[in-house]
Amino acid sequence: GIPMTPSLPTIYLVRHGETAWSVSGQHTGRTDIPLTPAGEAVAKLLPARLAGVTFSHVLSSPLLRARRTAELAGFSPAVDPDLQEWDYGDFEGKTSAEIRKVHPGWLLFRDGPPGGESVAEMTARVDRVVGKLRGLSGNVLVFAHGHFLRTLACRWVRQPVGFAQHLLLGTAAICKLGFDHHNPDEPAIAAWNT
């Protein structure tokens, strides 16, 4: 018979809705803060934006802002600790402007945060997630965080984490990762920050 090609997954990424710190620009890693009322309202619009897509797997970061976004969008996700936001260590709760007063020219995706996850540690964690996602089939929905998802997109297409600097991602935005020509050797970003 004809050999069956295993079906490749299509990965839908959703960044959590707005929080007080996403509004203020503070780095929110492991601090478990809730969505704002505006963040909750936008999360409730996600079902209409994802209408017509059936998901074989729904995953979420364990942090409240991601889980609540999933719940308001009408999903009961499986929680995966590997989907947590970057651990910002000493820079938790600080804005980029505050950080650059002390560390001029600092870039998260190049330099990493002191006392938190290094770029190498983040790369290893995200590569683990890429491996898990590539092992699934069908449409997969992932609720997670801005810097984590930007890093995930880079590693999906086998780029260094530093490239994430150039991929902006708003709250409650939807992205899509897949493959060109249905070829597992051609991972691609199909849609970004929509």
Catalytic residues, which ones?
Answer: 16, 85
Say which residues have a Cβ less than 8 Å from residue 34's Cβ, sequence separation at least 6: 19, 64, 65, 68
| Closest of 3, 1, 137, 14 to residue 69, by C-alpha | 14
Cα–Cα dist 85/34, whole Å: 14
Cα–Cα dist 108/165, whole Å: 8
Say which residues have a Cβ less than 8 Å from residue 185's Cβ, sequence separation at least 6: none
Cα–Cα dist 124/88, whole Å: 16
- List alpha helices for 1-104, DSSP H: 20-24, 37-43, 46-49, 64-72, 96-102
CA dihedral for 54, 60, 64, 65, sign (positive or negative)? negative
Amino acid of residue 174:
I
Instruction: Please answer whether residues 180 and 156 qualify as being in contact, where contact means their C-beta atoms are separated by less than 8 angstroms.
Output: no
